[in-house]
Structure 1
């Protein structure tokens, strides 16, 4: 497995919708524009970078920013990656590992800048990674929903954002001609109630009452509480307290919470933590 195996292709029936990527083993982040109006609960197929098909469904849509979250029913027999997260800095080289088909070129370039508190109309404020492409212009909408990695010498690649659809990118770049931008990963994670610490901890609260073979997997099936729950609550509170006191950059809190909760869920399900 390589570090690039976390991206996915989304489809419904025979129609390919676009790309996305795992933020945990149970959730995929993508562009709402790629879902073409599908609402919460709509079934979606997720095909991993290695070609494994997983059942999934739309879990939450952040229309104000143009992003969406897909809930996936994990297959314990399938090994796939979840990425490390970091924040971008102006001048960073970047690379987009998802491309819409094998004939399309990979997007890459440098970070023009990172701007905070950008809003689309009355939407929520997010941090935007402004991207400059190293190659000729393409139809950037086909890449929307895919991850943007920071590629700096001597450091492991890390996801810094999710590619926005061109219309949204232009508005959040305040009219810039280049329709290429990403929502910073910490802002993207923070948009979704499903990914909040409270919701993720709630996944550990009860066993399923009965099997529902045809249920649309808008959220992963819950698992039994294990002894790590109390410790996890304490650590999550510590993350927040450290950010409030200025000891930890708030931009790092959401990625840390996601990685911690990923470990808790996998441990509670009896999987080996990585």
Structure 2
């Protein structure tokens, strides 16, 4: 594994589609336009990690108006997947970098965050919290890097934290390239990324309600009135176990931001541990 081992390449039947990254051990976040050429919304995708592991995945949710999509790795529990990367809100005037390279390329991108956060109008008609970046490597066309993660230097809290890690936090996902005014067909070295924290807020899979529902969230193929099958419930329980560390970090972040009270945070921690224990023992998670 490389130091930044959570980026992935996405393919269908051996054909490269684009990039993404493991926002958790189960879910890959990517730009929806990277999946524009898939054969169907239920197509089986190949997800290749930096170390060459290849897993099967399927599109499980999307927010098309802001060009974001989520891929669920099938049977994620059977793979030795890396921990999810730490995430952070974007900050202006800091250095950024990315370890991802498109197939056949050897150039890794880096540069500076010039404006963050910004309200950016997506080409799909919606608006997302974005990050404006400049790139040091003058390649002309950066489309092959769409969907890949944007890393910045970590901010230390100055206190002991069992969940704090030394890796560079992911702040964004590369989405679009700006074009020059002189020649609208010529790309500039200005890119726009979507804020990862904002992107995660758009998907129910990372919310407290998702945890309360036992890790079940509606996907594009499931109506709200449909009950999940036993296989889906089993898969949800496995996902919940994999997501425990992410949920606990999120609870701490929400508590510090004042989004939930300390009492609510403690109650959700207790629920998390109880649900995980009940799942391991075959219980139903009731009090």
Scaled by the length of structure 2, what TM-score is found?
A: 0.68
Contact 2:171 2:196 in 1 (8 A): yes
Residue 28 of structure 2 is aligned to residue 28 of structure 1: yes
Residue 213 of structure 2 is aligned to residue 202 of structure 1: yes
Contact 1:204 1:265 in 2 (8 A): no
Q: Which residue does 1:62 correspond to in 2?
A: 63
Mapping 1:158-177, distance limit 5 Å: 158-166=169-177
Q: Which residue does 1:188 correspond to in 2?
A: 199
Q: Which residue does 2:46 correspond to in 1?
A: 45
Which 5+ residue runs of structure 2 have no aligned equivalent? 157-165, 217-226, 241-245, 263-267, 282-287
- Per-residue CA distance 1:164-208 (angstroms, 9 max, x = gap): 033xx67xxxx9955511101111112223333323442447995
CA RMSD of aligned residues (A): 4.2
Mapping 1:9-158, distance limit 5 Å: 9-38=9-38, 40-73=41-74, 74-120=76-122, 123-151=125-153, 156-158=167-169
Which 5+ residue runs of structure 1 have no aligned equivalent? 212-218, 227-231, 249-256
Q: Which residue does 2:222 correspond to in 1?
A: none
Equivalent-residue separation in structure 2 for 1:267 and 1:131 (angstroms) = 45
1:223 alignment partner, one of 237, 248, 257: 237
**TM-aligned CA deviation for residue 225 of structure 1:** 11
**TM-aligned CA deviation for residue 242 of structure 1:** 5.8
SS in 1 for 2:137: coil
Equivalent-residue separation in structure 2 for 1:267 and 1:108 (angstroms) = 45
Please say which structure displays the higher CA radius of gyration.
2
Equivalent-residue separation in structure 1 for 2:17 and 2:239 (angstroms) = 36
Equivalent-residue separation in structure 1 for 2:49 and 2:278 (angstroms) = 22
- Per-residue CA distance 1:114-173 (angstroms, 9 max, x = gap): 13333337844422110001121332110000000003698641101000033xx67xxx
- Per-residue CA distance 1:84-107 (angstroms, 9 max, x = gap): 111222111100111102533101
Contact 2:120 2:130 in 1 (8 A): yes
**TM-aligned CA deviation for residue 35 of structure 1:** 0.6
Q: Which residue does 2:284 correspond to in 1?
A: none
Equivalent-residue separation in structure 2 for 1:30 and 1:152 (angstroms) = 22
Q: Which residue does 1:214 correspond to in 2?
A: none
Q: Which moved more, 1:152-161 or 1:26-35?
A: 152-161
Aligned residues: 242
Equivalent-residue separation in structure 1 for 2:60 and 2:111 (angstroms) = 32
